[in-house]
Structure 1
Amino acid sequence: MLLYLHGFRSSPQSFKSRLVQERMRAWGVEKSFACPTLNVSPAQAIAQAEAAIRGARAGGETDIAIIGSSLGGFYARWLAERHGCRAVLLNPAIHPWTDLEKYLGEQSLYHGGGSVVVERSHLQELLDLRVEQITKPARYYLLAATGDEVLDYREMVQACPGANIRIIEGSDHGISEFEDYVDDVLAFCGYGPGGKLPASASRPDLA
């Protein structure tokens, strides 16, 4: 299964999520794609992701990979450490418990209208999910844009020592040129034009 975790105020309708799904559909492996609409509560968002992973494993999926964007990247790091799976981090949040301080209260959503309410308790939930140091760096692939107008790419790099790192010169927080990188991202996750790649192809050593 490939689990995509969207960012704060985003949704499965984000262009990166849709691009990943469309590519997997073209390769005949769309059934392996999952992208839940994450709750504003970090604890509940993690519970949703955990439920998706449990469901996949109950269905016989043993090979799990996660793509996380922004806040979803923060969640992906925690889940990768917990489950020992591969994770692609797209301009990930590193310390969102401080980043989201200025967003306390009602916040509009980017897709489909509506809003969410960010509560102070959510900041503690984020703090509870912090990863002090990644283990087995080979299972991580970081895409960090120097032009990110929301987060500092240098903090992302510092948080992923030894990982597979691709620094994108310029760009922006949303990685507007993500189409240029999606095939590489999916290869790291174990997928290619032929569908599921053999275990020996484009896979990090997770031992």
Structure 2
Amino acid sequence: MRQQITAYVPPGGYPGANVGLGIPVAAGVTLGVAMLLVALIDPRKRWWSFTAWRYRDPDAVEPSDAAYSAERMGWVVGALAIFALTGGLVAFVHHQSADQHRADQAAQASASVPAQASGGGDMATANDITQKILQLSFKQDRRPRTLAGQVAASVEPGATVTFPTDPDFVSLTLADGKTFCLNLPPDAPTKAPGPADPIVSIPGPCP
């Protein structure tokens, strides 16, 4: 069984990436504002401008003042409903994101307990080096493998990186001699990793 690091970047970015709410929120706000603007227009003038021409005798079928008031109130209520739905959508997505973040933190905390019992400090260093490789690769738009040695030496002096025959892997050796196999993406990541992104090193030589 090949031991490797689960440090990769899916095409759409990391699983923890924020959900894009810009378009639905903008659409909801725009629709709500448009409905309010319609409500501000005199309904009698609007009826005579856009509806009266359909009738042979408009005076005989013109709505009453109560009907005009009800129509205007309907536009206002509709706008408020749109604003409420948009706000509810934003609150729901943020709530889901917060729950996921707390779950990720709990999973990381539980996973760190056994790691500390068997070289957890070295594993944390390997994780930190891998994360910085991906961050620098994203920033400079360069292949992670070309930056691996530079980053390892800067994070922990004495660390070395070797490149096995398998082009998907690099081998990280820390200053204390412990080795970690890193499976880095072949190209620059589409998104820089953050502190909550799933980067977990597994010790052992590369296959």
Q: Report the TM-score, using the length of structure 1 for normalisation.
A: 0.26
Larger radius of gyration: 2
When you count helix as a share of all residues, which structure comes out higher? 2
Identify the structure with the greater strand proportion.
1
The structure with higher relative contact order (CA 8 Å, sep 6+) is 2
TM-score (norm 2): 0.26
